[in-house]
């Protein structure tokens, strides 16, 4: 939901470093990576077009800090 809201408000843009998708999700503690979410949580690719998913990280390309 936050991903869609940020896109709508044009606050920031993220893109997968591997496949170029702009669809992503945040890994929280308990996810397959066991992200501890210390500081900023990891944002990973959530490309709906790939059946097996993508292992890429959604990097910031526009917005805060850019």
Question: Which spans in 1-66 are helix H?
Answer: 2-9
What local confidence, expressed as pLDDT, does residue 51 receive?
86
Q: Residue 66: is its pLDDT beyond 60? A: no
d(C-alpha 14, C-alpha 59), whole Å: 5
d(C-alpha 25, C-alpha 57), whole Å: 10
Q: What is the CA radius of gyration of the chain?
A: 12
Please tell me which residue, 32 or 53, carries the higher pLDDT value. Answer: 53
The pLDDT of 14-36, averaged and rounded, is: 78
Please tell me which residue, 43 or 64, carries the higher pLDDT value. Answer: 43
Read off the pLDDT of residues 6-15 as tens digits, 9 standing for 90 and up: 556 667 789 9
């Amino acid at each position: 939901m936050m991903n869609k809201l940020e896109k709508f408000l044009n606050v920031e843009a993220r893109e997968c470093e591997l496949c170029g998708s702009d669809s992503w999700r945040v890994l929280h503690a308990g996810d397959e990576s066991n992200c501890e979410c210390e500081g900023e949580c990891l944002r990973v690719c959530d490309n709906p077009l790939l059946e097996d998913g993508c292992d890429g990280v959604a990097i910031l390309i526009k917005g805060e800090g850019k």
